[in-house]
Amino acid sequence: MTPPKSAPTQPEASETDLGYQAAQAAYDAAQQDTNMVQIVAPDGSVVRPDLLPAPDIRLALYRQMRRARHFDERGWVLYRQGRLGVFPPFGGMEASQVGTAAALTKNDWLFPTYRDTGAALTLGLPIARTLAYWRTSPHGWHMPADLKVLPFYIPIATQYPQAVGAALAERRKGTRNVAMAFIGDGGSSEGDFHEALNFAGALNAPCVFILQNNGWAISVPTRTQTRATDLSRRADGYGIPGVRVDGNDALATYHVTAEAVDRARRGEGPTLIETVTYRVKPHTVADDPSRYRTEAELEGWDAKDPVLRLRTHLLQEGLMTEASEAELLAEIAAEFEAALQEADSYPDPTPAEILDHVFAEPTPQLRQQRAQILAEEQQ
């Protein structure tokens, strides 16, 4: 008797596939989460008309998102041309960065991670200075005197407790200024993250914490580095408000952040905001994401593009036309090329310049090191 044939076995899903599927499922599930704030759906339709910002704010947000997208796209080209160093792209996360930073003024503090170029540009960091930073030029090593933006943080989570310190300093000086710090989902598992939330909560610091949950900690999916599915709930352990928002909806991110900023200015303490988004780009321009995910896995995210979402909304509402958008894009392109020419005009750095922006007043050790470098140059 011939034994019955068994059904063909399906190949076992890899950890990478499971990681992507979990990220996709988490984002889609969040769309149905009544606790997640959303104003505009992925198709551009309005789901919360009562929360819509004023038309001028919506147009301003779109302009900043387009500026950020243009920088990200041109950055890739410049890197391939050897005219820009390694930098972490942020395309697809513009709503998360622009919508949050737009709630600040130039009197407030911004503590960005290495991926938050879009946030820094939104607050006012000049494009030429930003290009110089990613070229490792001394002209980008210090921030403008009229802007409280810290250099992009490479260490993970160290910016969070430092932001609390800046917020407390502002309160001690009697201002109503706030500090905003960014972090990723992976960084929220670091000790500094938890210490900062406890620090800020205990001392009622005027601080706004942005937690960008983009599904990946370099090549590690969120599901692997934590079993938590709602990272905004981490605020509960420290007695501060936690808000979850659609990180691909610029209007929603702006709304919840503006509320958190106003709350901090009133002396009501810190807020943790989780922006649910996705890192569609590689970890850096030098990263090879094909080692841990496939191009096919990214197909579903095109429909969730934050720039496309706001563009569709503005066109549907009659706040923007194809012609006015074309003028905007031409203006942004011209602005970038002028900034690029400025960055190209900066002189090459000298070895001693590496010591110029370490302390406001050089220490004796720095003076000694500078003298040694200058002496070696003359040999």
Which residues does the annotation mark as catalytic?
279, 283, 292
Taking a C-beta distance cutoff of 8 angstroms, is the pair 302, 272 a contact? no
Strand (E) or helix (H) holding 210: strand 207-213
Strand (E) or helix (H) holding 208: strand 207-213
Place of tokens 């009544």: 34
Using a 10 angstrom Cβ sphere, with 0-12 exposed, 13-18 middle and 19 or more buried, the burial of residue 218 is middle
Tell how strand 216-217 and strand 207-213 pair up.
unpaired
- Per-residue burial over 59-93, b if 16 or more Cβ lie within 10 Å, else e, is bbbbbbbbbbbbbbebbeebbeeeebbebbbbbbb
Max distance between CA atoms of the chain, in angstroms, equals 93
Residue 367: how many CB atoms within 10 A of its CB? 11
Measure the CA–CA gap between 209 and 189, rounded to whole angstroms.
Answer: 14
Query: Which residue type occupies 102?
Result: A
Taking a C-beta distance cutoff of 8 angstroms, is the pair 119, 100 a contact? yes
Pick from 265, 201, 203, 262: which is nearest to 234 by CA? 201
Alpha helices in the chain (DSSP H): 15-31, 55-80, 94-101, 117-123, 127-134, 159-172, 191-203, 222-225, 250-265, 306-317, 322-345, 364-377
